[in-house]
Amino acid sequence: MTPANDVDFELLRLAALLESDAAAAARGAAQIVRRHPDHAPAALLLGRAHRGCGDAQAAVAEFTALATTQPQSAVIRLELARALRDAGRAPEARRALEQALALQPELAPAWRELSLLHAAAGDTVACDLAYARFSELSDEDAPLGEAAAALANERLSAAESLLQRALARSPEDVAALRMLAEVMAARENYAEAARLLGECLRRAPGYARARLDLVQLWCRQQRGEPMLAPLERLLAAEPANLRYRTLQAVACNLVGEGPRALQILRDLAGEFPADEHVWLQYGHTLRAAGEQAGAIDAYRRCVALRPACGAAWFALANLKTLRFTAADVETMEGELARTQLRHEDRVHLEFALGKAREDGGDFGAAFAHYARGNDLRRTVVRYDREYTTRFAERTRTLYTREFFAARTGWGRPSAEPIFIVGLPRAGSTLLEQILASHSQIEGTRELTDMLVLAVELGARVAEVPGGTPDYPQSVARLTRAQVSALADRYLAQTRAYRRLGRPYFIDKMGSNFLNVGLIHLMLPNARIIDARRAALSCCFANYRQHFQGVSFTNSFEDLARYYRDYVDVMAHFDHVLPGRIHRVSYERLVADFEVEVARLLDYCGVPFEQQCLRFHETQRAVQTVSSEQVRQPLYTEGLELWRNFEPWLGPLRQALGDLAAPQPASVASVALTSLVGVP
């Protein structure tokens, strides 16, 4: 072997050491440079090794010398820029990158480095444009082709395994992080998806695709406020982007700017009449505004463009007041029979056909569709019923009378929030509509702000083997000042949803029953209303309703356990905070509507107003699946719809046990009454 070959072989060996032992690579490269002062590859390796050791100044010196002897090398300018950035010399680093790109405009890594420098300087537009150029040149997803194919074919477990392996090899791989977040979002593990996307954007601030995924994640959770800033940034780089503009309309609708949302979507429908997504979102926005005829037309246009669009068929079914035609049913069944149908479309179509068959009186076929839809959803959505039960147990253990007595006077005295808690399909939207008909109370939507605070306090399982969740036990470690700060933050964040400026507002996030202790500590004067529906009726209503982001509704066993945990938690707070929570029995409400509404308003501290009895006349945006029902007078047809399915509900009865038996409405603490009109 010739001396030159010896040097090349040694350089290969040292290059392999760079990541694992940069100091050893530096020593070896320095020896070669001493023997061969003009050996450019050895000098290049030495500079990289200096960077690996954290010696930015030595790296700058090495690359500066190389750039002098090889002024036409774009790669050396790129390495010099990296060293200068590490040394805190950002303006010089940027000049070096500009020189590198002048020599080689398609040098993808230089665009990525330039994006990072723009981000550090606060120039978000330049940051995003530079990263967009990097993305055009590099095809980040190419090395992850197998994982991308698995994800495209909805083989989530295979995709997750491949991506975890890729990240084990290269933890800085932002494309793998983004794709793993996509897997988590498909499983409706939104907290983990958000964490992964946040890490992705920390490493690559200009990564528009990751920012878009984060916006879409918030959209799936109906969180309008967090969508606005990243959308503004995306639109600054691509103001004509159809997807960005559509999501902007969604965000406006979610934060209460319905007229602006409708205008954006009208414009988009005119510009892009063949885009199904525009018509779908247009339909959602029209429905929330109470324009049912327009919503139906928009959804119909959507399925005309793509008959397999399950989301549009399900949206039509979700109007509750619409009846499908025989032609509709034939079209949906034809699409469902196709083998090449996206999983999400298939789930939506099963639930939509369940509604169609139920309306037609074929309850056996309807139940079969509901069961298949739930079974399909369980293949991708993971729910740990034991976790919820343990969470409920920890809640009861922490929040004792002594706990609250020791913290008397904590939090903020504001009585502005009115929390409505309970299970979905238990009448919370109706209660909100009644209250929002009052001149002093503003309806908002299902606000996530309290849930976010809980997550930050440690609601997620600790990410270590054998780790245990820290919330709600972490609340016990909060100081008085910290609790007040949390209350201030909640009140400040929710102000964005209060467009009418009324003294009181409603937070209708039902799962906040698990956060009642935190709510009471933060806001001891806030009202808390428990919307309660009979166990069998409530659980089956959830089973026949397709929810996104609600993971316990897809099996009778999960539903029954969740309902029991809910009842136990609320009974506990009735015991430790007697009289604190106002429970609404819909049976009593129907039997003596005016008296029960008066009791509700009295609890909320506002005078009785006749308009609350005419809640269906109140014009306001309603985002939930009960949007059309609360625009009608109170009716009783939905009281016992579950009886149509009684032949198939044996497993649910068994799972509920004693809770399945009807209980008298007079049992205030654990009254399990039906909310009629909420089928």
Provide the CATH number for the domain around residue 482: 3.40.50.300
Q: What is the pLDDT, as a whole number, of residue 621?
A: 55
Report yes or no: 101 and 79 within 8 Å, Cβ to Cβ. no
Please give the average per-residue pLDDT across 248-276, as a whole number: 94
In-domain check, residue 237: yes
In this predicted structure, the answer to whether residue 204 has a pLDDT above a threshold of 60 is yes
Structure tokens at 529: 């209303």
Q: What is the pLDDT, as a whole number, of residue 665?
A: 43
In-domain check, residue 123: no
581-585 sheet: strands from edge to edge: 441-445, 504-507, 417-421, 527-532, 581-585
Q: What is the pLDDT, as a whole number, of residue 8?
A: 72
Report yes or no: 492 and 432 within 8 Å, Cβ to Cβ. no
In this predicted structure, the answer to whether residue 664 has a pLDDT above a threshold of 70 is no
369 and 390 part of one domain: no
619: pLDDT confidence band, cut at 50, 70 and 90?
low
> What span, in angstroms and rounded, lies between the C-alpha atoms of 93 and 108?
16
> What span, in angstroms and rounded, lies between the C-alpha atoms of 325 and 343?
24
598 and 655 part of one domain: yes
Q: What is the span of the domain harbouring residue 629?
A: 385-548+564-660
262: pLDDT confidence band, cut at 50, 70 and 90?
very high
312 and 190 part of one domain: yes
Report yes or no: 76 and 48 within 8 Å, Cβ to Cβ. no
Selected residue with higher pLDDT from 317 and 43: 317
Q: Which residues of 626-662 are buried (b: 16+ CB within 10 A; e: fewer)?
A: bbbbbbeebeeebbebbebbeebbeebbebbeebbee
Q: Which residues of 350-389 are buried (b: 16+ CB within 10 A; e: fewer)?
A: bbbbbbbbbeeeebeebbbbbbbbbebbeebbebebeebe
Least confident of 8-22, 66-80, 263-277, 523-537: 8-22
In-domain check, residue 617: yes
| Residue 139 φ/ψ region, left for φ over 0, alpha for ψ in the -120 to 50 degree band, beta for the rest | left
Structure tokens at 292: 């049912």
> Residue 288 is part of a domain; what is its CATH number?
1.25.40.10
State which of 135-144, 236-245, 447-456, 635-644 shows the largest mean pLDDT: 236-245
Please give the average per-residue pLDDT across 402-411, as a whole number: 97
In-domain check, residue 553: no
In-domain check, residue 537: yes
Q: List pLDDT tens digits, range 94-134.
A: 999 999 999 999 999 999 999 999 999 999 999 999 999 99
* Residue that is last in its domain, among 353, 378, 403: 378
Q: What is the pLDDT, as a whole number, of residue 468?
A: 58
31: pLDDT confidence band, cut at 50, 70 and 90?
confident
161 and 94 part of one domain: no
Q: What is the pLDDT, as a whole number, of residue 449?
A: 92
Q: List pLDDT tens digits, range 461-492.
A: 433 334 456 899 999 999 999 999 999 999 99
Q: What is the pLDDT, as a whole number, of residue 637?
A: 59
Q: List pLDDT tens digits, range 211-237.
A: 999 999 999 988 888 999 999 999 999
Q: What is the pLDDT, as a whole number, of residue 46?
A: 80
Please give the average per-residue pLDDT across 501-515, as a whole number: 95
Please give the average per-residue pLDDT across 632-645, as a whole number: 73
Q: What is the pLDDT, as a whole number, of residue 633?
A: 60
Please give the average per-residue pLDDT across 70-90, as a whole number: 92
Q: What is the pLDDT, as a whole number, of residue 222?
A: 85
Q: List pLDDT tens digits, range 544-568.
A: 999 887 899 999 999 999 999 999 9
Instruction: State in Å, rounded, how far the first CA of the chain is from the last one.
Output: 83
674: pLDDT confidence band, cut at 50, 70 and 90?
very low
Please give the average per-residue pLDDT across 351-377, as a whole number: 97
In-domain check, residue 468: yes
Secondary structure class of 444 (helix, strand, coil): strand
pLDDT over 70, % of the chain:
92
Tally of domains within the chain: 3
312 and 352 part of one domain: yes
149 and 250 part of one domain: yes
Whole-model pTM: value is 0.82
Q: What is the pLDDT, as a whole number, of residue 132?
A: 92
Q: What is the pLDDT, as a whole number, of residue 535?
A: 93
489 and 351 part of one domain: no
Q: What is the pLDDT, as a whole number, of residue 679?
A: 38
373 and 415 part of one domain: no
In-domain check, residue 354: yes
433 and 367 part of one domain: no
201 and 304 part of one domain: yes
In this predicted structure, the answer to whether residue 605 has a pLDDT above a threshold of 70 is yes
Mean of pLDDT over the chain: 89
In this predicted structure, the answer to whether residue 25 has a pLDDT above a threshold of 80 is no
Report yes or no: 600 and 608 within 8 Å, Cβ to Cβ. no
506 and 572 part of one domain: yes
Please give the average per-residue pLDDT across 413-426, as a whole number: 96
319 and 195 part of one domain: yes
629: pLDDT confidence band, cut at 50, 70 and 90?
low
Distances (CA, A) of 6 to 37, 285, 411: 16, 70, 73
In-domain check, residue 226: yes
